[in-house]
């Protein structure tokens, strides 16, 4: 049984996002020369965006959790199977290039990998008790127990009367619930054991892709930077509010995902989209990132526009073009909608 669960985790946390990302990149991003890391990360953003777009109407319709699980699982499975059929050549190439990449790794890169693995495994062997889990994890266990989507108060189990709009509009705990159903595990075990092992390395993947963007064709530089980043994170408890603290304390919560995976991802693909003078398909990935941000935390309503807005202003001034501003504005429409709903709920209160 343990083997089956481990296999399911590998399938839903690694294979499915990778295959979906690969399908998108090979069919939509034409002449894509990016590596498997980009495929995996893009796949995650697509999955999160799709999950958000699927969850919101089902939530408003008071649909059951198992309906959400079924639709999500079937759609992702079909996309993954299509990817295996259509992109089998790419899969083989990626497998070879990953092996070559690892075989050519410098000692400093391996040292960085060890530090990252230690960080991923500490939360499996040890525990950090965070009282915010009373909401974030209990929302997932409540959803599984009642087979509903955010209809019961996770604190008490009573039916929700006054929706806390900030939390309803960012249903990341429901992703935890759905994932736990897919891998046949208790949501609390998934949140406290499985997610750290997946999302801590994922956050380093985003960081490494950012470093590789800065040090284009200078792998040794990027490897050293990754090593220093891993060390900075381990010593990053300068306050409990830093993204490093959130990464190593409570990565299973949506806000920690926002700080460590989604905002850096938005930064990465924002740069990729804006640094090219012509319109390009990276903007679609930026839009996925924005939707993923809305899924993860209500803070995304303010932070995603701030990040993308500043980047767009800098590029617009530098390139003397309005395209970055216009395209960023279009990508940020989901944040605007969520923002209006939040503000309306604040005013009504």
Partner 1 sequence: MSDFLKQSFQDALTSFNRYEGSGAYFTLFFIAMIIIFFYGRESKKAGSRDSYDTRIIFALYFPLLAFLMIINPLIAGPIMIGIDSFVYWRAFWIIPITIIIAIAMAIFVMKVPRGSQRRLAVIACVAVIAVSGSLIYNAENYKKAENIYKLPEEAIAICLMIRADTPDYASVAVPTALSPHIRQYDASIYMPYGRSTYGFHTNVARSLQSGSPDLESFKSYFDKYKVNYFVFYSETPHEVVYPDWCSPVGSAGDYHLARISGS
Residues 102-161 that bind partner 1 (CB under 8 A): 108, 122, 124-129, 131, 133-135, 137-138, 141-142, 144-146, 153-158
Instruction: Choose among 125, 119, 164: nearest CA to 346.
Output: 164
Q: Which is nearer to partner 1, 17 or 270 (CB)?
A: 270
- Footprint of partner 1 on 202-241 (CB under 8 A): 207, 210-211, 213-216, 220-222, 224-229, 231-239, 241
C-alpha torsion sign, points 53, 56, 57, 62: positive
Query: Does residue 314 touch partner 1 according to CB under 8 A?
Result: yes
Q: Which is nearer to partner 1, 95 or 134 (CB)?
A: 134
In the complex, minimum distance from the CB of residue 165 to partner 1, in angstroms, rounded to a whole number: 11
Across the strands, what pairs with 159?
152
Q: Which two tokens stand for residue 28?
A: 């939509």
Residue 134, number of CB atoms within 10 A of its CB? 11
Please identify which residue in 35, 64, 242, 281 interacts with partner 1, judged by CB under 8 A.
242
Report yes or no: 224 and 238 within 8 Å, Cβ to Cβ.
Answer: no
- Footprint of partner 1 on 245-284 (CB under 8 A): 245, 248-249, 255, 258-259, 263-264, 267, 271, 275
Q: Which residues have C-beta within 8 Å of that of residue 140, sequence separation ≥ 6?
A: 173, 174, 176, 177, 180, 187, 188, 190, 191
In the numeric block, the tokens 């400093």 are attached to: 108
Q: Which is nearer to partner 1, 76 or 251 (CB)?
A: 251
Q: Which is nearer to partner 1, 19 or 207 (CB)?
A: 207
- Footprint of partner 1 on 54-93 (CB under 8 A): none
Please identify which residue in 35, 64, 188, 280 interacts with partner 1, judged by CB under 8 A.
188
User: What's the angle, vertex CA 302, arms to CA 204 and CA 123, rounded to 5?
Assistant: 30
Query: Does residue 344 touch partner 1 according to CB under 8 A?
Result: no
Instruction: Choose among 337, 345, 326, 327: nearest CA to 301.
Output: 337
Query: Does residue 97 touch partner 1 according to CB under 8 A?
Result: no
Q: Which is nearer to partner 1, 24 or 227 (CB)?
A: 227
Instruction: Choose among 127, 341, 136: nearest CA to 258.
Output: 136
Total residues contacting partner 1 by CB under 8 A comes to 87
């Amino acid at each position: 049984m343990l083997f089956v669960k481990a296999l399911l985790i590998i399938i839903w946390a690694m294979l499915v996002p990778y295959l979906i990302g690969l399908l998108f990149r090979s069919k939509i991003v034409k002449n894509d020369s990016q590596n498997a890391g980009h495929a995996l990360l893009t796949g995650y953003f697509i999955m999160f965006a799709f999950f958000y777009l699927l969850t919101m109407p089902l939530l408003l319709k008071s649909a059951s959790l198992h309906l959400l699980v079924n639709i999500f699982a079937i759609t992702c499975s079909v996309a993954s199977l299509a990817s295996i059929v259509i992109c089998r050549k790419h899969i083989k190439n990626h497998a070879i290039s990953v092996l070559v990449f690892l075989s050519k790794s410098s000692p400093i890169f391996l040292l960085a990998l060890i530090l990252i693995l230690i960080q991923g495994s500490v939360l499996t062997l040890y525990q950090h008790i965070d009282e915010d889990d009373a909401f974030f994890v209990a929302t997932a266990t409540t959803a599984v127990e009642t087979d509903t989507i955010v209809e019961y108060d996770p604190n008490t189990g009573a039916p929700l009367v006054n929706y806390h709009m900030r939390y309803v509009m960012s249903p990341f705990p429901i992703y935890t619930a759905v994932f736990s159903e897919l891998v046949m595990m208790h949501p609390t075990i998934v949140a406290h054991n499985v997610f750290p092992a997946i999302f801590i390395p994922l956050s380093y993947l985003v960081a490494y892709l950012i470093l590789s963007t800065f040090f284009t064709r200078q792998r040794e530089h990027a490897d050293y930077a990754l090593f220093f980043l891993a060390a900075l994170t381990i010593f990053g408890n300068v306050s409990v509010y830093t993204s490093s603290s959130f990464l190593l304390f409570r990565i299973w919560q949506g806000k920690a995902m926002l700080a460590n995976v989604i905002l850096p991802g938005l930064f990465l693909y924002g740069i990729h989209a804006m640094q090219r003078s012509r319109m390009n398909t990276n903007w679609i990935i930026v839009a996925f990132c924005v939707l993923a941000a809305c899924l993860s935390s209500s803070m995304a309503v303010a932070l995603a526009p701030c990040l993308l807005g500043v980047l767009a202003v800098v590029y617009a001034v530098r390139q003397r073009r309005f395209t970055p501003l216009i395209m960023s504005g279009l990508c940020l429409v989901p944040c605007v909608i969520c923002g209006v709903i939040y503000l309306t709920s604040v005013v009504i209160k």
